[in-house]
Structure 1
């Protein structure tokens, strides 16, 4: 396994913080337990035609045959180099993207193609390991970091057609968000979606919004699997080579008093090819209190629709639930508005 993944997984497998802010002997915070479930990659290796009943969705939750790919070209593409130059048109474009879509793709972001490819190669190397090697980094019984499946809260829950490696990296010191977050937590998740003989009956990841501030996703360049919910339709996010997908998380929705939306999204399976995705979650520190910013309560939006919530409590409560759309955001909404 490559050094980049190996060192990070080894550090997380001991449940220790990687930042000097935490004492050498102090454990990083835990988040939520998840019930162990079968490894999907191994199920497919043993029998490519098998789709156990635990993965089969109810009829109303299955991917539909309706093709909404014509809407993919409408998903905003933001040129980060123009934003950095203060281009007002690009800034307005970003504003509308966060209001109307909650998702956009970023080009000219400054991350080298070589680094992006190295991340993909490292993740692929991990998932190619024998199961006994991957299981050395299995999720502990009381947390969701490591190799396995998150958000599994009951034995009769319908499962996602994917496996994941989740890493938690504490204490990113980036000034842009530091004032709001005091200390950033960076979560990194690599998803592996094996091919599925019955892709119309399963979902790679259940519909959900992200509990993050923002989420940054790198897709496989030529396999589409991500779909976002837009005006009650599921719209595929067609990959743009070397672009990054960015989406608004629940924290931004709360801070903006609902002006910017964290949007439901899901992943679908491919009948022929495995697909991987690489996701970075930027989230506040546990003790930070999140509420609508004063200037976001204005004549156009005169009433607060969210309570003040302590982020750590909000995050852990959401992790105790199965992924079910935006149901977890009700915990933060003011009762008279919810």
Structure 2
């Protein structure tokens, strides 16, 4: 059996789990609720400290200054990128020159979520499968639920695409997603090269692990909620991947990151890509860079939409500290194969940095 086929089995097999079906939140919100169901209510979040919007903001990286070594501003911007990955784990990427592709993807995403529920359900997840329209990381009937719906697809590798889940309505969706997938993978590969340079290793060292990467595209829809301050669109977590590239579809803000035990709201720069370090990159760098807890809040009156592109190593990779970075240091993390790593991800609910905690060598 080919590696790609084997991974597809892992993603679908019952023993590896899937998400327990739950109510569609967009449909639930459309009922003009007076009382939000108790499974969405999180009593503790109102007491958590959220910093003023303008007190802290994540670094901004100008990709146009990093196209060629030696060009004006290259060295300074490379240092800024290193500090962003090391001290923040998040940054906003500007002048990336892919705005047209992003705008097209934003458009078809809005069109998809505006379709009637029965039309969207044509792309619904199957039992024990993470691909399609539905939910993720619901692993018990007792856990708190997120106030949001998602549409998750695996554009890369091509063997995992399964067009059964790719909608034909909007009719431009498939063509748009294919271009978006290729374009954002290209941006991530450029960033992996720059990150390798900053870590003092061969420029292609990290990129080789992501040439045939597993790329997931998650489209998020967070409906307005009458008790918005008591629910979460997405629970606190760090991303299990290498790099995540997030775009804001509409103007409603909602992303918050955890900095010094406090929540920091992120103000997206129009047209920017918000990039964050994932657990895999923390492990590969042996802790030089850190994945950061983040969450999504929702609005009282307006819906929020976003699109996250997750980039994970190729299907045959081993996940562990890069040998070049631990020659004179202690290994801080275990080394495991992709199959076991996927099993850990799929069987977990979103819970802070629980995956990293499992991977750390005590």
- Under TM normalisation by the shorter chain, which class is it? 0.7 to 0.9
Q: Does 1:46 align with 2:31?
A: yes
Gaps of 5+ in 1: 1-20
> Is the 8 Å Cα contact of residues 297 and 304 (structure 1) preserved in structure 2?
yes
Alignment match of 2:320 (pick from 291, 304, 309):
291
Deviations 1:277-324 (A, max 9, x none): 01100111333101111232266xx21100111123112212211100
Q: Does 1:126 align with 2:108?
A: no
Q: 1:285 to 1:312 in 2, by over 3 A?
A: farther
Q: Which residue of 1 aligns with 2:286?
A: 257
Q: Does 1:193 align with 2:222?
A: yes
Q: 1:124 to 1:220 in 2, by over 3 A?
A: closer
Q: 1:242 to 1:101 in 2, by over 3 A?
A: same
> Is the 8 Å Cα contact of residues 286 and 313 (structure 1) preserved in structure 2?
no
What are the residue-to-residue correspondences of 1:53-202 with 2, within 5 Å?
53-59=38-44, 61-62=45-46, 64=48, 66-73=50-57, 75-86=58-69, 87-112=74-99, 114-171=100-157, 178-181=207-210, 183-202=212-231
Higher mean C-alpha displacement, 126-135 vs 282-291 = 282-291
3-state SS, counterpart of residue 71 of structure 1? coil
Q: Which residue of 1 aligns with 2:276?
A: 247
Cα distance in 1 for residues equivalent to 2:54 and 2:327: 36
Cα distance in 2 for residues equivalent to 1:279 and 1:150: 14
Higher mean C-alpha displacement, 168-177 vs 33-42 = 168-177
Q: Which residue of 1 aligns with 2:19?
A: 34
Q: 1:131 to 1:63 in 2, by over 3 A?
A: farther
Cα distance in 2 for residues equivalent to 1:272 and 1:229: 25
Deviations 1:10-51 (A, max 9, x none): xxxxxxxxxxx969xx99445241100001100111124331
Q: How many matched pairs?
A: 308
> Is the 8 Å Cα contact of residues 221 and 240 (structure 1) preserved in structure 2?
no
> Is the 8 Å Cα contact of residues 63 and 203 (structure 1) preserved in structure 2?
no
> Is the 8 Å Cα contact of residues 225 and 268 (structure 1) preserved in structure 2?
yes
Cα distance in 1 for residues equivalent to 2:315 and 2:333: 18
Deviations 1:240-272 (A, max 9, x none): 100000000111100100010011000001001
Q: 1:201 to 1:83 in 2, by over 3 A?
A: same
The Cα of 1:72 is off from its aligned counterpart by 3.7
Deviations 1:53-93 (A, max 9, x none): 0100132x4474644312343x1000001111330110000
Higher helix content, 1 or 2: 2
Gaps of 5+ in 2: 12-16, 158-181, 190-203
Per the normalisation by structure 2, the TM-score is 0.80
3-state SS, counterpart of residue 21 of structure 2? coil
Cα distance in 1 for residues equivalent to 2:142 and 2:295: 20
3-state SS, counterpart of residue 80 of structure 2? helix
Per the normalisation by structure 1, the TM-score is 0.85
